[in-house]
Amino acid sequence: MEENILEKVKVLYESETLQKRIAEMAKQIDEDYKGKTITVISVLKGAVFFTVDLVTKMKTPIELEVMQVSSYEGTESTQKINIKKDLDNDISGKDVLIVEDIIDTGHTLKHLKEYLMSKNPKSLKLAVLADKKERREVDVEIDYTGFVIPNKFVIGYGFDYNEIGRNLPYIGYIEV
């Protein structure tokens, strides 16, 4: 299936639609953090594309951190959360914004928020590009949402199928 996976992708959100919504999110974040510096934590690998586009549209000064957290194999969440790469710097007393590509069941982000709260940030908010609400199993408060998406397997703009397809300039989906 992976050989021709990109041929099966159907477009959900074109690049222009993504960039317009991300600009709106950046403006809202700037308003909420006026006069502050925030630590932006990009969750690798999927959120890299979204993070870069978001922070380059923001006027708020940022410190950038990356974490790698995984819970997926293929198209399914394993519900086993694994921190593969932790923070490089202390976030105690800082305003922190987690930037994630997608929230699905909510298990990964719930665990990540609890883990980061244990590091005593001044504040902790969450920006998510895609919210797959109908798959939610646990409650997670999302402060900034790009799109509420249907229960489809998304690919492109950071989303992948076994590491393939992240570099598509749009969000598409595949039938699995």
Per-residue pLDDT of the chain in tens (176 residues, 90 and over written 9): 455 888 889 999 999 999 999 999 999 999 999 999 999 999 998 999 999 999 999 999 999 999 998 765 555 555 667 889 999 999 999 999 999 999 988 988 998 999 999 999 999 999 999 999 999 999 999 999 999 999 999 999 999 988 889 999 999 999 87
Query: Active-site residue 104, yes or no?
Result: yes
pLDDT of residue 4: 81
Q: Of 95, 101, 104, 160, which residue is the catalytic one?
A: 104
Q: How far is the C-alpha of 98 from the C-alpha of 69, rounded, in Å?
A: 12
Given the candidates 3.40.50.2020, 3.40.50.720, 2.40.160.60, 2.60.120.10, the CATH classification of the domain at 15-150 is 3.40.50.2020
The upper half-sphere exposure of residue 51, i.e. CA atoms within 13 Å in the direction of its Cβ, equals: 24
* Residue 131 backbone zone (phi > 0: left; psi -120 to 50: alpha; other: beta): beta
């976030």: which residue's tokens?
91
Instruction: Report the 10 Å Cβ neighbour count for 121.
Output: 20
- Euclidean distance between the first and the last CA atom of the chain, given in angstroms as a whole number: 10
pLDDT of residue 78: 57
pLDDT of residue 5: 82
pLDDT of residue 107: 87
pLDDT of residue 3: 57
Q: How far is the C-alpha of 48 from the C-alpha of 158, rounded, in Å?
A: 7
